Amino acid sequence: FEAGLKALKKALGRTGLRVIDGVDIANLSGREMVGSLVRFIDGRPFKAGYRRYRIQTISGQDDFAAIGEVVFRRFRRLRDEDQLPPDLLLVDGGPGQLGRAVESLRAVGADRVTVLSLAKRAEEIYLPDRENPLVLPRTNPGLKLLQYVRDEAHRFAQHYHHILRRRSVLGERVDAPRKKRRKG
């Protein structure tokens, strides 16, 4: 964990990097859309800092807008409760997701937070102040740490999404009128 933080600090040119929050979205064709936020401290999961969000303002499938909603709600709450923001916010996705996260941070007055996105396929790191993505070797411990945070946010979002889908499906079965069986 320490090697990952050290490598990440070097790659990003940061000195203080202890707390990392990771955000992801899960849905099935826009239904039961949820967001997750995971918190890592010193490179390790801090489960008490995990949060899950039901997306409230989006209808249909719009992952960019959903990312924006989760980031806005999270950082508004941190501001309102006078809590410290993370040292780094990691968003799952590419430039589109990053752009929405940056907009939300600005809207809530948290635009000094370092934010980046990590695109799954090529594992490219997008930063708001860079035109081209940062590409680290696949063996770089800093990249491995970002992948760990991203994958944990994804796992946590999927878990919540599956809970809501099961409730929805079971609710439909329970509420559906039963057909009477004919005797004979």
**pLDDT average, residue stretch 173-178:** 37
Q: CB pairs under 8 A, 24+ apart, for 120-128?
A: 120/92, 120/150, 123/147, 124/94, 125/11, 126/94, 126/95, 126/98, 127/12, 127/98, 128/98, 128/102
Which pLDDT tens digit goes with each residue over 22-77? 999 887 655 678 899 999 999 999 999 999 998 888 877 889 999 999 999 999 99
Which pLDDT tens digit goes with each residue over 162-175? 677 666 655 543 33
